[in-house]
Chain A
Amino acid sequence: MRYIDPHIHMVSRITDDYQRMAQAGCVAVTEPAFWAGFDRSSAQGFYDYYVQLTEVEPKRAAQFGIAHHCWLCINPKEAEDPGFAREVIALIPGFLDKPNVLGIGEIGLNKNSKNELEILEAQIDLAAQHDQLILVHTPHLEDKLKGTKLIMDAIRNHGSIDPGRVLIDHVEEHTVGPVLDRGFWAGMTLYPDTKMTPQRAADVIEMCGKERLWINSAGDWGCSDPLAVPKCQQEMRLRGHPLATIEQISYENPLRFLSQSGRFKTSE
């Protein structure tokens, strides 16, 4: 069954993962800029990363018939030094015209600090200035609920961002309601130990419906599963969800949100 994985960090995955994803039905991925597991020592390190996301990775994906798109930003884990972060942000406009760039992301908060919030606001403004979609990272574990509220407030306070052009990712049972209620799109990340399991994601779909919701693997350099989306499709099939619902969650909803960029396409 075809699917889109709208959040996966393929720079951290091996080429065999592309092959297995294609065999499982993946027709497109989108890759947000994120923390590499260590802090970069210079803005030039981010420049090289943006080249990898916009030039190298699309070619690697294309070998397996998967369309590759990306989002650019400085992630909140490296936002505690605002001067450095602003130096990185200044590089981003130079990449926004690359054909696979969909918007600004994954911006957000990590520990909900004042500096993180300042850099989040700067990148919300960058998205507004360049009419870009936004992909939001919400904090982990005990920091998620507070961080999600602060992020939604920051977007609302900017005043010129349509929530229908913002996807707030890594929602769980305690944040999905407020995110959808405020008009945003919500992403459920399927992780082995934290965030969501395929079973809980199917529960949320049963409780909250299938509008403005998507699922993703967020596969990266840690414990994660690049085949998490087809595993959730399987969970939904076994529960008796109609194929149309499974298709909407794993293909049509991401297609609808991402197509607002004017650039998104699948390999079909």
Chain B
Amino acid sequence: MPRDALVDRYFLEHRAKLLDVAAFLDRLDRSEAPADSNEDFRIEALQRAISLLIDEKGERAKRVLELFSDPTDTPIDKAPMKGADGAYSAK
């Protein structure tokens, strides 16, 4: 797909998604901070992922997914729950 056609087709959609992220971060700023002042691991991962978007190294989707992933390589002893958090926490 030619670049100008690609921009025409997708720009508004992704402008809106970017604003969703911006508004979410603003919402976090307005919220009550955690008692221990430590940021949630998911938000820390999100902030690191955002920095990947503008480093111009390519393969952004793949690298963002890798950033959110469990980096270990052996099975855990027991499943602690059925769901997933969306980002890895070593705790």
Minimum C-beta distance from A238 to chain B (A): 7
A98 at the interface (CB under 8 A from B): no
* Complex interface residues of chain A between 85 and 134 (CB less than 8 A to chain B): 110-117
A200 at the interface (CB under 8 A from B): yes
Contact A238 B69 (CB under 8 A): no
B70 at the interface (CB under 8 A from A): yes
Interface residues of B: mostly helix, strand, loop or mixed?
A: loop
A143 at the interface (CB under 8 A from B): yes
Chain B residue total in the interface (Cβ 8 A): 28
Contact A115 B78 (CB under 8 A): yes
Chain A residue with minimal CB distance to B65? A174
Minimum C-beta distance from A110 to chain B (A): 7
Chain A residue with minimal CB distance to B85? A142
Contact B84 A141 (CB under 8 A): yes
Chain A residue total in the interface (Cβ 8 A): 30
Q: What B residues does A240 contact at CB under 8 A?
A: 1
B62 at the interface (CB under 8 A from A): yes
**A151-194 vs B, Cβ < 8 Å mask (1 yes, 0 no):** 00000000000000000000011100000000000000000000
User: Which of A77, A142, A200 has the most chain B CB atoms closer than 10 A to its own CB?
Assistant: A142
Chain B residue with minimal CB distance to A139? B84
Contact B82 A146 (CB under 8 A): no
Given A139-B84, A174-B62, also A113-B69 (CB < 8 A): no
Chain B residue with minimal CB distance to A174? B65
Minimum C-beta distance from B74 to chain A (A): 8
Given A141-B85, A173-B62, A174-B65, also A146-B70 (CB < 8 A): yes
Contact A117 B75 (CB under 8 A): yes
Contact A111 B82 (CB under 8 A): yes
B54 at the interface (CB under 8 A from A): no
Given A113-B76, A200-B61, also A146-B83 (CB < 8 A): no
A247 at the interface (CB under 8 A from B): no
Interface residues of A: mostly helix, strand, loop or mixed?
A: helix
B35 at the interface (CB under 8 A from A): no
Given A146-B73, A240-B1, also A140-B65 (CB < 8 A): no
Q: What A residues does B9 contact at CB under 8 A?
A: 238
* Complex interface residues of chain A between 186 and 236 (CB less than 8 A to chain B): 199-200, 203
Q: What A residues does B77 contact at CB under 8 A?
A: 113-114
Q: What B residues does A146 contact at CB under 8 A?
A: 69-73
Minimum C-beta distance from B27 to chain A (A): 18
Contact B78 A140 (CB under 8 A): no
Q: Would you give 8 A-B contacts (Cβ < 8 Å), ordered by A?
A: A110-B79, A112-B75, A114-B76, A117-B75, A142-B68, A142-B84, A146-B73, A150-B73
Chain A interface (Cβ within 8 Å of chain B)?
A: 35, 77, 80, 110-117, 139-146, 149-150, 172-174, 199-200, 203, 238-240
Going nearest first, the 6 A-B pairs with the smallest beta carbon separation are A111-B79, A141-B84, A145-B69, A174-B65, A173-B62, A140-B84
Given contacts A77-B82, A111-B82, list 19 more A-B pairs with CB under 8 A: A35-B82, A111-B84, A112-B70, A113-B75, A115-B78, A115-B79, A116-B79, A141-B85, A142-B69, A142-B84, A142-B86, A144-B69, A145-B66, A146-B72, A146-B73, A150-B75, A173-B61, A203-B61, A238-B9
